[in-house]
Amino acid sequence: MADFVELLRDLWTHRKRIIMNCFWGGILSIIVAFSIPKEYTSEVVIAPEISSAAGISGGLGALASMAGISMDTEEEAIYPQLYPQIVSTTPFLCDLAALNVTFNFRKDSISTNIYNYLCYYQKETWWSKVLSAPFKLVKREKKEILEDGVKLNPKQLSRQQQKVLKELKERITVELDKLTSAIYINVTMQDAMIASIVADALTENLQLYVTDYRTVKARKDMENTQRMCDEARENYYAAQHAYAEYCDQHMGVTKLQYLMEQDRLSNEKDLAFNLYNQLAQQLDMCRTKLLEKTPVVVILQPSTIPYKATTPKKMMIGILFVFLAFFGTVGWIIVKERILEA
């Protein structure tokens, strides 16, 4: 207890130093906070279609969702738990990097793609420029500009391209609410408009990816059935034309040989029609199946242009610097008064 009282006495003696250091810590925090570029986050909330197993009640499905267990038994479904991994894949990021955007940079209107935006139009802190200056002087990297309409090759990426895709990946977060199965998509950029545009494009690309995956077999079945239906229609038209032509050429002929040939052509025409009719019905079933397989994604919250920056958090930076200044000064007083002068 006596040591604690003595410590308080030492702190009171050096109160002016503590106050001054906290003051300068606050000033330094202001400089740091206003040196960090502002960043904006745009959010999209979607509710993907989930097919539950037959016979499972809604209550049991809800309990399973709360426990983080998927009850989806659809063979061709992509679970919402995989959405974060999908948007993090290199091919997905390459498609997103080719997205064209328009923004203002130093009072000029710039139209380019996301790759060039992240590579050449990002604001940096002054200490980042100071620390990176020596490396830029020693090793000058050749600028790689991605032309509009050109996509990166996922299998052949340069070091700079990998770096840009990594930064793009870090600016995207996709989270799943296991209780409601809602998907929260967040995109953070230095430009508010670009954050909203990328969020919309990411949502659309994700929907297309899931749709292509779910409907790939149904689309192949429909394409094959369409091809066979077209062939059957041509065969039916040919058989119909051959029958009509034969009847016109042998009109009024009663010879048995001609009548037998007429019956044969009529039977071929009927068989061709029956096959064409069956394939046409099967094609309609394939189209219906394709519609059933196409997932429905409901956008609960569309992206909006954020007007309030998410970073830097100036208040938190100020509290942190004052906190460090206070306890740093207290630690220095303890070391000086109790250890060095002991």
pLDDT of 125 reads 80
3-class secondary structure for 153-219? CCCCCCHHHHHHHHHHHHCEEEEECCCCCCEEEEEEECCHHHHHHHHHHHHHHHHHHHHHHHHHHHH
Q: Are 120 and 211 in contact (CB under 8 A)?
A: no
pLDDT tens, residue by residue, 183-195: 999 999 999 999 9
Average pLDDT over every residue of 326-335: 84
50 pLDDT band (50/70/90 cuts)? low
Q: Tell me the pairing of strands 172-176 and 183-189.
A: antiparallel
Average pLDDT over every residue of 302-329: 89
Torsion of Cα atoms, 71 then 77 then 82 then 88, to 10°: -170
* Contacts of 305 by beta carbon, 8 Å cutoff, 6+ apart: 42, 192, 193, 195, 196
**Buried/exposed 66-80: b ≥16 CB within 10 Å, e otherwise:** eeeebebeeeebbeb
Average pLDDT over every residue of 71-95: 78
pLDDT tens, residue by residue, 245-266: 988 887 777 778 888 888 899 9
Average pLDDT over every residue of 11-18: 82
Average pLDDT over every residue of 97-117: 89
pLDDT tens, residue by residue, 158-203: 989 999 999 999 999 999 988 888 999 999 999 999 999 999 999 9
**Tokens at 218, concatenated:** 């149904």
Backbone angles phi, psi at 41, to 5 degrees: -120, 125
E-assigned strands of 243-305?
297-301
* Contacts of 271 by beta carbon, 8 Å cutoff, 6+ apart: 239
Average pLDDT over every residue of 23-41: 89
DSSP code, position 4: H
pLDDT of 59 reads 46
Integer Rg of the chain from CA: 35
pLDDT of 166 reads 95
* pLDDT at 296 exceeding the cut of 90: no
Task: Indicate if the alpha-carbon torsion angle 118, 119, 120, 126 is positive or negative.
Answer: positive
**What does the alpha-carbon distance between residue 145 and residue 152 come to, in Å, rounded to a whole number?**
11
pLDDT of 332 reads 84
Task: Indicate if the alpha-carbon torsion angle 263, 264, 267, 272 is positive or negative.
Answer: negative
* pLDDT at 72 exceeding the cut of 60: no
